[in-house]
């Protein structure tokens, strides 16, 4: 049996006769593709090491900028609170959740703890309206 298994004959045929682009005469789809959530633009806000008042200013500014840019998802990294003073609990995490439930509730569709690969309990994923 020949080593090229007839590939030379196929290539000769294509060179002699050419190929037809079956898609060139196909009409383009007039409907735009639907928005796919998997491809939504996500931005990250890292609050590690910030004091509460600094974090509040940063969150407000970041949300305003994200909304004006059409961003749909924000990943807020606040940490798990293991360095917070004993008895206080996770200060930044609590601050973020309180802001989402009170001040920013009209701007967001939903929020949840991030997946383990995105930070787990140390981050919150926010879906904007």
For residue 22, tell me if it sits in a domain.
no
The four Cα atoms 119, 94, 112, 125 give a dihedral, to 10 degrees, of -50
pLDDT of residue 25: 65
Domain with residue 58: its CATH number is 3.30.1370.110
Give the pLDDT of the chain (129 residues) as one tens digit per residue.
Answer: 556 677 788 777 777 777 776 666 666 655 544 445 555 678 999 998 899 999 999 999 999 999 999 999 999 999 887 666 656 668 899 999 999 999 999 999 999 999 999 999 999 999 998
For residue 31, tell me if it sits in a domain.
no
Distance CA 52, CA 49 (A): 10
For residue 9, tell me if it sits in a domain.
no
Q: What residue numbers bound the domain in which 86 lies?
A: 37-128
- Alpha carbon separation from 35 to 38, 41, 53, 72 (Å, rounded): 9, 11, 36, 11
- Alpha carbon separation from 44 to 9, 22, 126 (Å, rounded): 56, 44, 10
- Within 10 Å of residue 58's Cβ, how many Cβ atoms? 15
Number of domains in the chain: 1
For residue 4, tell me if it sits in a domain.
no
pLDDT, one tens digit per residue, over 41-58 is: 789 999 988 999 999 999
């Amino acid at each position: 049996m020949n080593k090229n298994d007839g590939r030379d004959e196929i290539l000769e045929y294509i060179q002699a006769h050419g190929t037809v682009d079956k898609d060139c005469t196909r009409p383009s789809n007039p409907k735009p593709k639907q928005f796919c959530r998997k491809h939504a633009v996500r931005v990250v806000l890292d609050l590690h090491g910030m004091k509460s008042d600094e974090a509040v200013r940063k969150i407000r500014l970041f949300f305003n900028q994200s909304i004006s840019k059409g961003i749909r998802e924000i990943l807020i990294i606040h940490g798990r609170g293991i360095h917070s003073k004993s008895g206080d609990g996770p200060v930044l995490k609590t601050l973020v959740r309180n802001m989402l439930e009170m001040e920013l509730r009209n701007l967001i569709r939903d929020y949840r703890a991030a997946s383990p690969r995105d930070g787990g309990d140390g981050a919150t994923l926010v879906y904007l309206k």
